[in-house]
Amino acid sequence: MTYQSAAISNGQTTLPHLPDWVTSARAETPETVAFLSGAVLAHLHLVVGCPGVPQTLLRERLALRAAEACVTRAGRPERAGELRDAVQFLQPGDQAGPAGETYLSWRRAVERPISVRALHRALPTLAPEQIATCLDGCGPYDLSGLGQGGPIVRSAAMIETVLAEIPRETVAAQILAEAVLAKALSWEYPVPLLSAGLKRGDLRKRGDDLRLACHRAVIASATEATRLATDLARRAARLHGVAPKLRAKGAGEAVALFLARDALAPSALTSLSSDRAARRFCDRLVELGVIRELTGRDTFRLYGL
């Protein structure tokens, strides 16, 4: 049993922080940066495997951060709240818009285990054969470097190769890089780390400069990802604690949704008897302090852990 799982089983929901020598170190040389990013990934490997952390929800929150970073680098004004709105209130036949489509791609990428079919669902503009080639490291793309070196080296090679072939597919390049990173770490799902830490000009870099930028991006994202995992573990434990007291029919299914989704409109809680019952249920959970209303609005509200 790991330190994390033991702490959770004993009712504690605080994961260990990254060591101070990681968070305070001055990463000045390429060797130092690579060493620190390796230390960060080793720590996050424990976080990703911790049973007390709602992993599906963690991936969704990290996907939102990655989408926001992509949209910001593209010079668009939308931030997390607008991205949530663009996706949560879509009606059949509606278009999510450029920013919303970016968020949808990230959400779909983290929903299912890594496979060609799952990534094609997230990136429909790429043919399945292209995605398979990227993941296998052979074929018409020159990905000979993808199977060599550490996880960050492979991820940087993916970004560089995809953007050399299709320069406008920056989101696709980053999602595929996250998939390569996860595969290299033996993670079943992509866990967005690189994209939130990359700076505006990093995707124009190549070779050693891009690899260095990717190392720095992982270091920059690690503290926030660990903090987020700790916060979600604590909130999930509180929600689990009140769940047996909830008497509404369908409450168990609704609680499970809150433990898996970044944000929900009451209408998404279809296990409850009506929209009115769903709204009351959400308000009750807010009163109990186990979920939050995320928009600050009186109407078209969204709720989440």
Nearest to 263 by CA among 238, 296, 229, 241: 296
- Does any domain span residue 150? yes
255 and 126 co-located in one domain: no
70 and 40 co-located in one domain: yes
65 and 125 co-located in one domain: yes
157 and 298 co-located in one domain: no
221 and 101 co-located in one domain: yes
What's the rounded Cα separation, in Å, for the pair 10 and 249? 30
Domain boundary among 210, 233, 256: 233
Return the pLDDT at 24.
78
Residues facing 264 on adjacent strands:
303
- Coil, helix or strand at residue 70: helix
- Does any domain span residue 134? yes
- Does any domain span residue 239? no
235-249: burial string, b at 16+ Cβ within 10 Å, e else: bbbebeeebeebebe
104 and 252 co-located in one domain: no
Q: What is the pLDDT of residues 138-170, one digit of tens each?
A: 333 333 344 567 899 999 999 999 999 999 999
Return the pLDDT at 14.
62
Domain boundary among 233, 259, 293: 233
28 and 114 co-located in one domain: yes
148 and 258 co-located in one domain: no
Domain span holding position 165? 3-233
What's the rounded Cα separation, in Å, for the pair 180 and 157? 10
- Angle CA 221–83–61, to nearest 5: 35
Nearest to 221 by CA among 182, 195, 202: 195
Predicted TM-score (pTM) of this structure: 0.91
Q: What is the CATH number of the domain that holds 271?
A: 1.10.10
14 and 83 co-located in one domain: yes
DSSP assignment string, 192-206:
--HHHH--TTGGG--
Contacts of 120 by beta carbon, 8 Å cutoff, 6+ apart: 126, 127, 128, 131
- Does any domain span residue 149? yes
- Does any domain span residue 92? yes
- Does any domain span residue 238? no
- Does any domain span residue 46? yes
15 and 133 co-located in one domain: yes
Contacts of 110 by beta carbon, 8 Å cutoff, 6+ apart: 59, 60, 62, 63, 189, 190, 191, 192
208 and 285 co-located in one domain: no
Q: Could you give the number of structural domains in the chain?
A: 2
Ranges under pLDDT 70 in the chain:
1-14, 27, 137-148
Q: What is the pLDDT of residues 259-279, one digit of tens each?
A: 999 999 999 999 999 999 999
**Type of residue found at 196:** A
What's the rounded Cα separation, in Å, for the pair 18 and 23? 7
Return the pLDDT at 137.
57
- Coil, helix or strand at residue 130: helix
Q: What is the pLDDT of residues 75-99, one digit of tens each?
A: 999 999 999 999 999 988 889 999 9
10 and 154 co-located in one domain: yes
